[in-house]
Structure 1
Amino acid sequence: MSFISACCNTPPVQAEYTPTGETVEHDGLKYYIVGDKGASQGVVFCYDIFGLHPHAYQVADKISLSGLRVIVPDFLQGNPLTMALLSDPSVLQDFKTRRGAWGYNRDMFKASVAVLHNEGTTKIGAAGFCWGAKLAICALGEDCGIKSASLVHPSMMELKDFEQAQGPVLLLTSNDEPEMNEEFAVIKAKPVGKLSYQERFPDRIHEFCAARGDFADPAVVKDVNRVVQLTAGFFKKTLA
């Protein structure tokens, strides 16, 4: 299990964006929530290592426009990784084995599902970007209350994650990640495979749909919108 190299050597873009949702706090944990509060279908949005970057808000907002209630847990609790921190190997190792590990974040993920349930949103999936994809697919492998997972330019993936997945998977990779055909074949061989889908974006870099994406470039924005369209459509189908 390892980071995609671009995670550690490419800085996030500087960007501005005004979110359309709201930040709430439950039991001392903070969440960003957007979308129709009465929606029956919802998404736990797992951001990348740079946390609540403006692009995370923007993509979450876009996904919510399809009638999905989207919750973004602040897994890193206001302390995302920075380029300065990423230059320290000990920080990376600590993130992989502790802060970024599924076991460390499981409770907050489950708490996010509970927040949606308390609002009446009971059909839930998970969307993960970069490291967040690791959380999403791990949640799909346990009894965490989600039915499907969208993995966007994923990092830290292991074959066992796909072997343990209990629901459909949408796998969207950039040119910087392996194609992951072996891993996806595991999903396709399962009964949930008929609702699973894979697409590659060969002209895009790792995190093009997250903190490293150049949202001022129309070509990038076109592919970001494609990711949003695929992700929203995937959840509307798998959470029906």
Structure 2
Amino acid sequence: MSQSHACCTVPPVVTDNYQGKGEYMTINGMKTYATGPKDAKSALLVVYDIFGFFPQTIQGADILAYGDKEKQYQVFMPDFFDGKPADISWYPPDTDEKGKKLGEFFSNQAAPPKTLERIPKVLEEIKSQRSSISEWGIVGYCWGGKIVNLSSQEGTLFKAAASCHPAMVDENDAPGVKIPFAMLPSKDESKEDVEKWQKAVKVKNIVQWWPNQVHGFMAARGDLKDPAVKSDYEKAYQLLLNFFHENM
């Protein structure tokens, strides 16, 4: 998995004020970022982190849409928090007040069942508008990584899944995963939790650690002005492109 396909090239990463290549549409009542060629047969659902639409996450969606010259993707990122994401100043939760606000957010807007029940409706509505789509993959960041784990179980609507610096990694989710799975933990993830998950997963999988990066480096918390972060951001997206190329 470390070698890069000739077909897959991460375009030059913009470090500041990134302007998305896509457009916004309404899907299942949610503002949804949509990017990639509208006639592409393969599509990816992106589940953002708790901070919602951020330039780094939108840039990631565009990289996934266009980075594989042989297989481009339609990519969709719905606003599952309906315009009320968490405030990025709450993280890291280094005060009681921040911890309380994050805890409340996770038990309300970010409670996984609320998002999971919307996903089939989202795919159905997109398919009604974009009939060229014949297969789906799913990518999630942080909180979205938990949604990805839970969306990859028996009866999944997806062919392949990737979970980037995932939150709430649970070995009990692993045996039920039914599709090829890539997990990209950062230095802030629990090594024990990830190792237990990997021991319990029964399908083709890759776990690639990013030991120098913080939780969120591929999404809202990625400081792309830092050359070391930018370099790993590029490498991590290269890995995702290769993974989906091989498994979709």
Shorter-chain TM-score above 0.5: yes
CA RMSD of aligned residues (A): 1.9
Displacement over 3 Å in runs of 4+: 84-91
Partner of 2:110: 100
Say whether the 8 Å CA contact 2:18–2:55 is kept in structure 1.
yes
1:222: how far off? Answer: 1.3
Q: Pick from 179, 183, 194: which aligns with 2:197?
A: 183
Q: Give the alignment of 1:116-195 within 5 angstroms.
A: 116-118=126-128, 119=130, 120-179=132-191, 180-187=194-201, 190=202, 192-193=203-204
Change (3 A) 1:26 1:96: closer
Unaligned 5+ runs, structure 1: 1-13
Q: Tell me the TM-score normalised to structure 2 length.
A: 0.82
1:116: how far off? Answer: 3.9
Unaligned 5+ runs, structure 2: 1-14
AA partner of residue 160 (structure 1): N
The reply on whether 1:69 has 2:83 as its aligned counterpart is no
Say whether the 8 Å CA contact 1:134–1:154 is kept in structure 2.
yes
Partner of 1:54: 55
Partner of 2:235: 226
Partner of 2:27: 26
My pick for the range that moved more, 84-93 or 30-39, is: 84-93
Q: Which has the higher helix share?
A: 1
AA partner of residue 80 (structure 1): P
Structure 2 counterpart SS, 1:228: helix
1:84: how far off? Answer: 5.1
In structure 2, C-alpha distance between the alignment counterparts of 1:209 and 1:176, rounded to whole Å: 13
In structure 2, C-alpha distance between the alignment counterparts of 1:225 and 1:84, rounded to whole Å: 27
Structure 2 counterpart SS, 1:204: coil
1:169: how far off? Answer: 0.9
AA partner of residue 47 (structure 1): Y
What percentage of residue pairs aligned between the two structures are identical? Answer: 29
1:163: how far off? Answer: 2.1
Q: Tell me the TM-score normalised to structure 1 length.
A: 0.85
1:94: how far off? Answer: 3.0
1:48: how far off? Answer: 0.6
Say whether the 8 Å CA contact 2:28–2:125 is kept in structure 1.
no
Instruction: Summarize deviations over 1:190-226 as a string: whole Å, max 9, x none.
Output: 2x22xx2111111111111111111112221111111
Structure 2 counterpart SS, 1:176: coil
AA partner of residue 155 (structure 1): A
In structure 2, C-alpha distance between the alignment counterparts of 1:105 and 1:238, rounded to whole Å: 25
Instruction: Summarize deviations over 1:82-141 as a string: whole Å, max 9, x none.
Output: 125963544333333332122111233223322443312121111011111011111112
Q: Pick from 181, 196, 210: which aligns with 1:201?
A: 210
